[in-house]
């Protein structure tokens, strides 16, 4: 179990920008009123991978800033069940999604740059506008995933229906 505690004073000392501090204050206000230190520190007793996704969906720049400084764990979503989850525009740059179930997930405009999607199930996922540059798609199940007129994924081709199909050896 991972516990995360973030002190407001530390964010200020590290030079967080206005939007990040405003988001911190909004999240801190959601802490129980019985916690007398809730305006000074944010505490999540049981940090899960979904916390990382939730924070990234609110403000991916702030989430990345916190990750880089080691204030929150990097998004590790190995084997996560994310079926039919809306991840539109979420920044999952470099996230570990090895073996994740993303069947039917909406990843429209998501940043999956260098994400590990090896063995992930992306059947019927919406990948329109998703950035898959450098993503590891080895053994990923992409049949039925929709890409529409976006850049090619090595080893796959986009059909006129927008679905992905494994390319024949030597063809693309």
| pTM higher than 0.75 | no
**Partners of 165 in beta bridges:** 157
Q: Please give the angle made by the CA atoms of 126, 129 and 133, to the nearest 5 degrees.
A: 105
Backbone angles phi and psi of 11, in degrees to 5: -60, -45
How is residue 153 written in tokens? Answer: 């994924």
Q: Three-state DSSP class for 5?
A: strand
Question: For 7-11, 18-22, 50-54, 85-89, which range has the lowest pLDDT when averaged over its residues?
Answer: 50-54
pLDDT digits (tens, 9 = 90+) for 26-64: 999 988 889 899 889 998 989 988 888 888 888 888 998
Mean pLDDT of the chain, nearest integer: 87
Distance between CA atoms of 38 and 80, rounded to whole angstroms? 30
Q: Which pLDDT does position 87 carry in this prediction?
A: 92
Percent with pLDDT over 90 in the chain:
47
Distances (CA, A) of 119 to 14, 50, 85, 95: 38, 20, 18, 14
Tell me the pLDDT band of 172, cut-offs 50, 70 and 90.
very low
């Amino acid at each position: 179990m991972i516990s995360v505690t973030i002190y407001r004073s530390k964010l200020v000392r590290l030079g967080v920008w206005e939007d990040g501090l405003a988001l911190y204050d909004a999240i801190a206000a959601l802490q129980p009123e019985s916690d007398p230190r809730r305006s000074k520190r944010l505490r999540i007793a049981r940090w899960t991978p979904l916390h990382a996704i939730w924070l990234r969906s609110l403000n991916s720049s702030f989430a990345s800033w916190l990750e880089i400084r080691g204030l929150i764990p990097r998004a590790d979503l190995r084997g996560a069940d994310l079926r039919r989850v809306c991840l539109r525009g979420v920044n999952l740059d470099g996230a570990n999604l090895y073996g994740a179930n993303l069947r039917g997930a909406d990843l429209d405009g998501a940043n999956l740059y260098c994400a590990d999607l090896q063995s992930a199930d992306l059947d019927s996922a919406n990948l329109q506008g998703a950035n898959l540059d450098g993503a590891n798609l080895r053994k990923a199940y992409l049949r039925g995933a929709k890409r529409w007129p976006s850049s090619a994924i090595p080893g796959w081709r986009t059909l006129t229906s927008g679905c992905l199909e494994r390319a024949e050896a030597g063809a693309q």
